[in-house]
Amino acid sequence: MNKPISRGTSGGFTLIELIVVITILGILAAVALPRFTSLQRDARVAKLNAARGAVVAASALVHATYLARAGTTDIATMCGGAATNIAGTAAAPGTICTENGLVNVVFGYPDATALATAGLLSAAGLTSVFNPTAADLLAEGYTYAMAGTTATFGVVGAPTAATCVFTYTEPAAVNNGPVITATTTTGC
């Protein structure tokens, strides 16, 4: 026999239970959402700092190689061409042989040349491509702009791109190093 359903019992939630659950979900959302947004900013700052570290290290390594080789020309077959191992100038860059190929140098440091030439971008290794194009850099999440002898690096997705950057300015004379600014992260 079927048992009759009593009118006093209910199969759902009470209004109080629903209000408590919605309140708890609201509090969790209010706490978790800002932390998620902060993690995206932290990731952009970390990526920018990593790029700056790669540029600083590449600059130091290329300069150390230039000093160690002291103008001795490398064998042409070593890296796709004969490296001059001379300091070079902005008008006539020298070259240093690396495991990936020739890198142009200006006054013994990587040349901050335009894209797709063997200079700072190739030495820093920000992409898996030796002479990266703008598309290669964008695919890796970086922005790059040239103004004279200064290269400006940034990261894709920064809310204010102009204030999520660092710059590399190639040396202007012998015995001067490049100027690599600290990262500006207010816009990241």
Identify the pLDDT of residue 102: 81
pTM listed for this prediction? 0.77
Measured from the Cβ of residue 56, the count of other Cβ atoms closer than 10 Å reads 15
Query: Domain coordinates of the chain in residue numbers?
Result: 17-180
Residue 94: what pLDDT?
Answer: 84
Average pLDDT for the chain: 84
pLDDT at 180 over 90: yes
